[in-house]
Amino acid sequence: MNPALLKNRTPINGLTIDGAYSLDLDDAFWLETVELGYILHVSIADVGAAVEIDSLLDKAAYKKCFTRYLMKGNDPMLPHDYSENTLSLHEGKERLSLTVSIPIDKSGQTASPIIRKTILKSKAKLSYEQADEIMAMPEHKFHLMLKQCHSFSQALFHQRQQNGAMALYNLQKGFALSEEGAITKLSADEAFHSHILIQEFMVLVNEAVAVFFAENQIPALYRNHTSKAVAPERQVVLDDVSHAISFGDTDRINTVAQKFGMIFNRAAYEPVIAGHYALNLPAYTHITSPIRRYADLINIRQLSAFISDETLPYTHEALLEIGEQINTTLLNYKKDQERYFKKEEFQRRLTLLKADNVLTSDDDSFTPLLKTAITAKQLPASLKEELEKRLENEELSLTDMFVILLQSDDSKQWVAIKTKLLHQLGRYLYNTTSILTIATQKFHWQSIKYETRYTEGVSLQFFTIASIQIKGEAFSSSSQQNLHITNKKTSQQLANLSLLATIINIELDMEAIYNNQSIETNTASSSPVFTAPPQAVRPLAPNKGNFIGKLVELAQKKGWNSPSYEYQQQGASHQPVFLVRAGIMIDGEMHYSDEKKGGNKKEVKQSASADLIKKIAQFPTNISSKMASSKNFVGLLNTVFQQYKLNLPRYQIDFTDDQNIAPFKCICTAVDHDEYIKETIGYGANKKEAKQQAAETMLKALDQ
C-alpha cells in the first residue's frame, strides 16, 4: 500500500456481514460504547483513493456502472482482482476507508455524523446466518455487540415505519420491501435478522450523508424516488403489500407490483434533491457500495475531497451527465434481464408441455403453464385435464379467466372452453368487470361506455348497453329489453358479459343465462292494516364463488380497510388441517368471521370470507338504537344514506284504493350498497304520516 495514502488516516475496527459467498465486501460496521450511549461506525471502502478519475479502470467502471450478479458468479464493475481482493474489506487486512460515525444516545436518538478518512482492519467476515447464530451465543466475543446492533436496528426499522416509510420484512415468508418499495424475494442466505440489521444501517448512513451533502452544498448524486399524481395514501399501499406477502400468493404479489408501476416513477440518480417517496425522506443518496455501484464511487470521491479540503472533482453539470448515463444503463440492463429470464422460464415450461409432463397442484405453476400453452398454441392432455377440472370446480383465477378468454386462439377446443367459462361467469357476474378492466389496462383499450336506462312500473327495471372501440372497431352488448332486470349493477354486469362475448365472437343466450341466476326481484306487498308489509329478504350467498374478491370489493366500495386473515395449521404435514378467521376494521372496530376449518387452505379462506360478508353486508348495524331515540324516520334514513354515500331514497305518495286502510299510501324506494332495490310501503292519515312509516319500515329492512 502506498505510504502517502496512509497519511492523516485513523485506524478503526469493523465487522462485515454479507452473503455466505460474497467476496466484494465494501462496508463494515462497529459499535462503540461511550459514556452517553454508543457510536455506530460504518466504514466504506475508499475506492476513489485507488481508482483514479479518467483512468482506463475508471472509464471501464463508468461504462458498466454497476456489478451484475449472475446465476453463476458475477460480472464486476471493477476487475475481480480489485473488487474481490485489493479493495475488498477482508478479515485481518488493512484497507483504505471512509468512516461515517453516528452518535446514539441511550434513548436511541442519533446525532449528526462525524466523517473521517480511516484505515479499516476487519475483525471478522460473517455471513447472515453466522451473525444470527452469534446473537444466540452469549459466550461469543461479538455476541453483545451484535445483540446491541440488532436492538438498535429494530428501533430504526420501527421508527422508519412510524415516520411513514414503506418498510416491511417478513422473514417467515421470505419477502421484504426494497428501498423503492418493491416486493423482493429474499435468497436463502438473506432471510435472517442480521440482514435487516445491515439494511437498516445502510439506509441510516445513506440518509445521513445525503443530509451532509445538502447542508454543506456539496454537489452529489442523490437517489430520488417520486410518486405520480395518482398515488394513494402510502398506508394504503403498504397495506396492499402486507396482505400480498402474508398470503404469499404469486398472482397477488404480481398484481401489487404492477400497481406500483402506475404509482411510482423509476428511482433515479440526479444532482438535485427530489426526495424519496418509499423511504419518506427529503434527501437520500447511495454511498455504501462503491465497489459495486459507480454512483457510490462518485459520491465517495466528492465526500473524500470535501473532508480533505480539496477541490471537488465533479461539478453539477458533470454529475447530471453521469447520472443520466447510470440511469440509462440500469434501465437497459433491467429490460435485458427481464427478457432473458422470461425467455428461459418460457423455454422451461415449453419443455414440460411438449413432454406432456405437467404437474399443476398449485396456482403458482398452473397459471404460467396456461399462459405458455396459449402463447405456444399447445394444449397437452395433462394440462387440458387440469384446466377442465379447475373450470368444473370453479377454481380458475381472474388471470386464468383473462388469458383464456382474451389471449387464446379460435380453435375448436379453446372456443369450447371459452363458452363454458362465459356461462360460468353468468353465475359470478362481478368477475366480468374485473376481466374487462384488466383488458383495458393491458391492451390500452378505450374505457367502456355504459348507457343505462330504467322504466317504472310495479318496480324499477334497468336496461344497460355497454360499448367499446377496439382498434377502430365498435363492439356493443346485446339488448336487455326482455330480461326484466331490477338491479342496476346486475344490468351493467350482464352488459359486460354480453360485451365480452361479442369481443371474442361467441354467441350467448343472455335471457337463458339471466334466468338461471336466481336473482331476486325485490317487491313489497300491501297489507290491510297499518303495520308494515313483509319485506323481501335477500337470499344468502351460495357456498361457491370468489368470496375473497367479493369481500375486497365490498371493502373498497365502503371505504373500509382491506380485510385480513388469521391462519393456524394443525395435524400432520402430509394431511394438514387449516383454521382461518377473516377480519376487517370498520369505523375503528374489528369484525371477525367465525373460525372456519378444513383441509384445503384456499377453500377455508373462501368460507371465512363468505361468513364475514354475511356478518357485515347489511351495515350499518346501529340503526335500531338510533331509531329508538328518533321519531323523524325520514331524516334518519337520509342521514344513514348520506353516511354511506348512497343516493337518497325516493318517495311516491298517493291516495289508497281502500279508504278503510288509510287515506294515504307512500312507497319508499332505495338502492342499498350492493345496488339491490328495496321498496317499502307506509300508510297514514296524512302524507307526512305515510312517508314517516315508509321510512321507518325501510330502516328496519336495512337493519335486518
User: Under a CB-based contact definition with an 8 Å cutoff, are residues 493 and 429 in contact?
Assistant: yes
The three grid cell numbers given for residue 181, joined into one nine-digit string: 418499495
Average pLDDT of span 162-179 = 85
Q: Is residue 55 predicted with pLDDT exceeding 60?
A: yes
Work out the mean pLDDT of the chain and round it to a whole number. Answer: 83
How many CA atoms within 13 Å lie on the side-chain side of 301?
A: 23
pLDDT tens digits along 363-394: 567 888 888 889 988 888 888 888 998 898 88
pLDDT, tens digit, 9 for 90 and up, residues 475-515:
999 988 788 888 888 888 899 999 999 999 999 988 888 87
CB 180 within 8 A of CB 241: no
The H or E element containing residue 642 is helix 633-643
Of 4-13, 201-210, 366-375, the one with minimum mean pLDDT is: 4-13
Alpha-carbon gap, residue 333 to 63, rounded angstroms: 12
Type of residue numbered 588: G
| Spatial distance between the Cα atoms of 388 and 417, rounded to a whole number of angstroms | 8
Contact 264, 226 (CB under 8 A): yes
Residues 87, 91, 97, 100: what is their CA dihedral angle, to the nearest 10 degrees?
140
Which run of H or E residues covers position 152?
Answer: helix 143-162
Q: How confident is the model at residue 540 (pLDDT cuts 50, 70, 90)?
A: very low
670-682: per-residue pLDDT in tens? 776 555 567 788 8
Contact by Cβ (8 Å): 267, 225? yes
pLDDT tens column, 240-268: 777 777 666 665 666 676 666 667 888 99
In this predicted structure, the answer to whether residue 151 has a pLDDT above a threshold of 90 is yes
Q: Give the pLDDT of residue 496.
A: 93
SS3 of 564-590: the string is EEEEEEECCCCCCEEEEEEEEEECCEE
Predicted pLDDT of residue 247: 64
At the topology level, CATH places domain 380-504 in Double Stranded RNA Binding Domain (3.30.160)
What's residue 398's pLDDT? 83
Give me the pLDDT at residue 543, please: 40
In CATH, the number for domain 547-616 is 3.30.160.20
The larger pLDDT score, comparing residue 660 to residue 189, is at 189
Residue 242 DSSP SS3: helix
Model-level pTM? 0.60
Residue 697: what pLDDT?
A: 83
Domain with CATH 3.30.160.20 in the chain: 380-504, 547-616, 623-702
Q: What CATH class has 623-702?
A: alpha beta
Give the tens place of pLDDT for each residue, 393-422.
888 888 889 999 999 999 999 999 999 999
